[in-house]
Homo-oligomer: A and B are copies of this chain.
Amino acid sequence: MFKQVIIVRKDLGMTCGKIAGQVAHAAVMAMEKTSEYNPNWVTDWKDENGQIKVVLKVNSYNELNDYFINTINAKLPVVKVHDAGKTQIEPNTVTCIGIGPVPSERIDPIVKGLKLL
């Protein structure tokens, strides 16, 4: 089973609409990254019912970056989303990361401590 995991910073005070846009950026960018890394993972995920996406939260950039590094160390495809900063937050702020789609058994141990957004 495959899933895409998106981890969002809750400390930036973004509105729900802003968060939704950032998560959508992460989903598209992570899928592209995974297509370069292992296109079969994207194909298999698309073939599965529902194209599972899980949206999780952290409370700081440092915490987000720890998950980013842990995911890279696990040799899984991950992207950082930088906001253009035209609205609500400072330019170039990292708002979230997007992972995969990747095999669930490889990402679940990395993010198991995190709560759903």
What is A's interface to B at a CB cutoff of 8 Å?
A: 4, 6, 8, 15-17, 19-21, 23-28, 31, 49-51, 53-55, 57, 84, 116-117
Chain B residues near A24 (CB-CB < 8 A): 4, 6, 20, 23-24, 26-27, 53, 55
For A23, give the chain B residue with the smallest CB separation: B20
The complex places the Cα of A26 from the Cα of B55 at a distance, in Å, of: 15
For the complex with contacts A21-B23, A21-B53, A28-B51, 9 further pairs of A-B residues with Cβ separation under 8 Å are: A16-B16, A16-B20, A17-B55, A17-B57, A20-B23, A20-B55, A24-B24, A25-B53, A28-B31
A50: B residues at CB distance < 8 A: 84
Q: Report chain B residues within 8 Å CB of A17.
A: 55, 57, 116-117
